[in-house]
Amino acid sequence: MKKKMLALVMAGTLVSGLLAGCGGTGTTTDSAGTTAGTAGEPSTLSADAMTLAVDDGGSVAGKEGKKTKLNCTGGNVTELGPFTNVGAGHMQYRGVVYMKLAYWVGNDMYSDCAESIEQVDDYSYRIKLYDGIYDSNGNPFDASDLVFCLEEIKNIGKISYHRQIEKVEQEDDLTVLITLDNNLSSSFRDFADKTLLVTKESYEASPDGMATDPVGFTQYKVTSFIPSSSVVYEKVEDYWQKDESKITRHYEANVDVIEMHMLTEAAQKVSGLQTGDLQLANELGYVNVTQFQGNPDFMIDEQLNISDCLALFFNMTDQGACADDLALRQAILYAIDKQELLDSQGLGETLKDFSCSVYNGFNEEWLTKDAYDYNPEKAKELLKESHYNGEPIRLLSSATEIYKTLAEIITANLQSVGINCEMVVREAAAWTSATFASAQEYDIAIKGAGYASGNIEDSYKKVGSDTVSDIPGTTFFGWKNQELIDLCNEVTVIGGMTPEKINQIHDICYENAVGMGLYCTYTQYVASGDVTDVWQYGTYYVPNATHFKPDYAVYAQ
């Protein structure tokens, strides 16, 4: 096995650990039951550098002049501009042609365009680019282009992560100093991971901001784009990075041609897989995936969707019926069957915290401890100890089908132990803009607690920080607990997260029964049997990083 290494030196110490982030979280199982980790071997860290070890297999070459091709699926997009949308569905397409400033696997940072990234202080970062970068038009990319990208993103104003950039300074032809307006541990990661890079010359030559004619400097170029239909990528003949050891997993080019189809119906994806018109598909739905199980001609890949951690929280203001009754809150939590909730949506894991077990910072000891695991008899005992007198407990839910299904199950669970639960359903638009701390219409609410970074401190920011509340001095759900607020704020700053603080936050939430995690679902992929590994990054897969068996033989026409 050949190891691909990238050293990112940070003032004599590792960038790893100071900057946390996201990455693949699952494993791939083929019909024979063999398992291949999505990130290859564990990262090897030294005093001044870190390395990403990746299986060098997976690339397939055409035969007799033919070009290998991957036909796969993705969500719907109508434009491909680099500075307009960085949602997961959009990044999946854009990331094949545009290179990120940096990306993360676990707590380790990688960049295919930067020779080094140095954290100068809590607010400033020095980026030194590789010399000799050029895009598929042949235009060079240097420090002035990086400055242009960052300024253009801020000027367009559609990507919120870049608003925290206070100053960008070009120090020489390859070096840029970036200063942020805060010292949160997630800040540099959030904007660097969402910065897609282009040359100023190619961008300004595009009449529509590369919305329909994207040009980047990865190993692929776009040869066809039909909005809401398909994107075709072809491998460039002259890639600027000649040292293969510096090409990381995210930017591999394992087939010559990639054609991504924006299919909206699961039936279309199932049919495409069965006929061989597709080699990889996602978002088929749990029921449709089951029909491929046990078939040696297909591989099913299941990876935890780190953003899809759902939780239940109490209204802890004086308007909440449960706010002053610990026994009632505990009774409600024990009455909820988390496994039944998960089973209604597919496969995954029930939660022992507000985040799932693959999050960075998750304490594996929690897996063996009680987390208000389903116990209706205990719920009934606690209900007797409470001050509950049969008054309605209002359960706030979004009107989406998933949330409505969950709310119906929770309502039935609570009623089965003697709690009068009433659903309060709000349309999705109103739900998204709801301010939970000041809301007076609910007692308990279903709400996401996941975060795309896969870092537990980011999840806890949602749970206990006052920076996301509309009432000063309270958590998102209106609880005035200064110890929790301080801890949740402390773990989000650079160097502030420690295992001790994480355990304290977990224990405060459990002992006070302010809520609990419910479940996290798998993202499921179905692929032809000669696909060996799907590279999932956060909440989306990276098609060009797909690995194949050596005898893969799908060719472009």
More confident residue, 452 or 414: 414
CB 426 within 8 A of CB 434: yes
Backbone φ, ψ for residue 195 (5° rounding): -100, 110
Strand partners for 88: none
pLDDT above 70 for 50: no
CB 73 within 8 A of CB 261: yes
Residue type, 206: S
CB 175 within 8 A of CB 143: yes
Averaged pLDDT, 293-300? 94
pLDDT above 60 for 18: no
Least confident interval from 266-270, 357-361, 536-540, 547-551:
536-540
pLDDT band at 467 (very low <50, low <70, confident <90, very high): confident
* 219 CA to centre of own chain: 23
Start and end residues for every CATH 3.90.76.10 domain found in the chain: 98-208
pLDDT above 50 for 307: yes
Give CA–CA dist 441/333, Å, rounded.
20
Averaged pLDDT, 387-392? 96
CB 419 within 8 A of CB 444: no
CB 454 within 8 A of CB 22: yes
Start and end residues for every CATH 3.10.105.10 domain found in the chain: 305-521
pLDDT above 90 for 58: no
pLDDT above 80 for 49: no
Three-state secondary structure string covering 253-283: CCCCEEEEECCCCHHHHHHHHHHCCCCEEEC
Which residue is it, tokens 């005093």?
47
pLDDT computed for residue 267 by the predictor: 94
170-184 pLDDT tens trace:
999 999 999 999 888
pLDDT band at 431 (very low <50, low <70, confident <90, very high): low
Q: Max CA-CA distance within the chain?
A: 79
198-235 pLDDT tens trace:
999 999 999 999 999 999 999 999 999 999 999 999 99
pLDDT computed for residue 148 by the predictor: 98
Provide the CB-side half-sphere exposure for 319 (13 A, CA): 12
Q: Count other Cβ atoms within 10 Å, centred on residue 74.
A: 23
* 47 CA to centre of own chain: 29
Question: Among the residues of 310-360, which ranges form H helices?
Answer: 326-335, 338-343
Averaged pLDDT, 90-112? 92
pLDDT above 60 for 517: yes
Using DSSP's 3-state secondary structure scheme, residue 480 falls into coil
Least confident interval from 307-311, 387-391, 510-514:
307-311
Averaged pLDDT, 125-129? 97
Class for domain 98-208, per CATH? alpha beta
Residue 474: CB partners within 8 Å, gap ≥ 6? 316, 317, 437, 466, 480, 485
pLDDT computed for residue 306 by the predictor: 86
More confident residue, 390 or 185: 390
Averaged pLDDT, 420-440? 75
CA 492 to each of CA 276, 288, 313, 449: distance values in angstroms, whole numbers, following the listed order: 47, 40, 21, 15
The tokens for 228 are 């809401």
Residue 116: CB partners within 8 Å, gap ≥ 6? 7, 8, 9, 126, 127, 128
pLDDT band at 157 (very low <50, low <70, confident <90, very high): confident
Using DSSP's 3-state secondary structure scheme, residue 484 falls into helix
Superfamily the domain 66-81+218-297+529-556 falls into = Periplasmic binding protein-like II (3.40.190.10)
Give CA–CA dist 158/186, Å, rounded.
19
pLDDT computed for residue 57 by the predictor: 60
314-341 pLDDT tens trace:
999 999 999 999 999 999 999 999 999 9
Class for domain 305-521, per CATH? alpha beta
pTM of the model: 0.81
Averaged pLDDT, 372-400? 96
pLDDT computed for residue 468 by the predictor: 80
pLDDT computed for residue 151 by the predictor: 95
pLDDT computed for residue 435 by the predictor: 61
274-292 pLDDT tens trace:
999 999 999 888 889 999 9
pLDDT computed for residue 281 by the predictor: 96
> For strand 175-180 and strand 230-235, is the pairing parallel, antiparallel, or unpaired?
unpaired
CB 335 within 8 A of CB 518: no
CB 147 within 8 A of CB 140: no
Averaged pLDDT, 472-497? 91
pLDDT above 50 for 459: yes
pLDDT band at 448 (very low <50, low <70, confident <90, very high): confident
What is the residue-averaged pLDDT of the chain?
Answer: 86
Q: Count other Cβ atoms within 10 Å, centred on residue 14.
A: 20
